[in-house]
Chains A and B, each alone.
Chain A
Amino acid sequence: DTAVSQTPKYLVTQMGNDKSIKCEQNLGHDTMYWYKQDSKKFLKIMFSYNNKELIINETVPNRFSPKSPDKAHLNLHINSLELGDSAVYFCASSHPQRGLETQYFGPGTRLLVL
């Protein structure tokens, strides 16, 4: 009965490779997000989708491309991985109704680029 799930949980790869992270939520939420948490625990939003439509696109290298096939899924594809991409990537989802906007976070994907 996992609310927000991500795969894989761990990803170790070489510089220059292309990788994808998948996220699924079964909460019936309309909005999904990708966050990056760096080694100092700082959290920064990368993207947000509402009903499959991109609504937030922060200053992120265009090597990062989100895709939302439906409102329950938001995937993140990363091209030409760099050392600085090493971080924990969290997917989250929320309901747009006022009072219910708490974001629910997935378990995170720990990406290490060698």
Chain B
Amino acid sequence: ELKVEQNPLFLSMQEGKNYTIYCNYSTTSDRLYWYRQDPGKSLESLFVLLSNGAVKQEGRLMASLDTKARLSTLHITAAVHDLSATYFCAVDGDKLSFGAGTTVTVRA
């Protein structure tokens, strides 16, 4: 069974600094997704990564995929308060398997 591990599970960020969230998975897949969930809200798609070496960027967020290492990273540049949320990675095997989520809090 495909296992997806995110770390850290909790991340307290200082405004203006850079941080990285890691997503490891256990079996071969070349389809990985990042989602954002605000408290009490639904999941919003951030990135779809469909091949080895894929890199996507949107604003202060950049996601990359290394299928050989079975690793994706979500890099946050110059954190701002609006980025406070829970971030999930999800890997497509025979079904979509989600990591446990990284709860991000940005402090001044």
Main secondary structure on A side of the interface with B: loop
Partner of B42, one of A41, A42, A58, A106: A106
Main secondary structure on B side of the interface with A: strand
Is B33 touching A102 in the complex (CB atoms < 8 A)?
A: yes
Q: A102-B33, A102-B48 are in contact. Are A45 and B96 (CB under 8 A)?
A: yes
In the complex, whether B45 has a CB less than 8 A from a CB of chain A is: yes
In the complex, whether A99 has a CB less than 8 A from a CB of chain B is: yes
* Chain A, range 48-78, C-beta contacts under 8 Å to B: 48, 56, 58
B85 to chain A, nearest CB (A): 11
The interface on chain B, measured as residues whose beta carbon lies within 8 A of the other chain's beta carbons, has a size of 23
Is B37 touching A41 in the complex (CB atoms < 8 A)?
A: yes
Most chain A CB inside 10 Å of its own CB: which residue of B44, B50, B96, B103: B96
Partner of A43, one of B31, B88, B92, B103: B88
In the complex, whether B43 has a CB less than 8 A from a CB of chain A is: yes
* Chain B, range 3-29, C-beta contacts under 8 Å to A: none
Interface residues of B (CB under 8 A from A): 31, 33, 35, 37, 41-45, 48, 50, 86, 88, 90, 92, 94-98, 100-101, 103
Known: A48-B95, A90-B43, A105-B42. 7 other contacts (CB 8 A): A41-B86, A42-B100, A44-B98, A45-B95, A107-B42, A108-B41, A108-B42
Interface residues of A (CB under 8 A from B): 33, 40-45, 48, 56, 58, 90, 98-99, 101-108
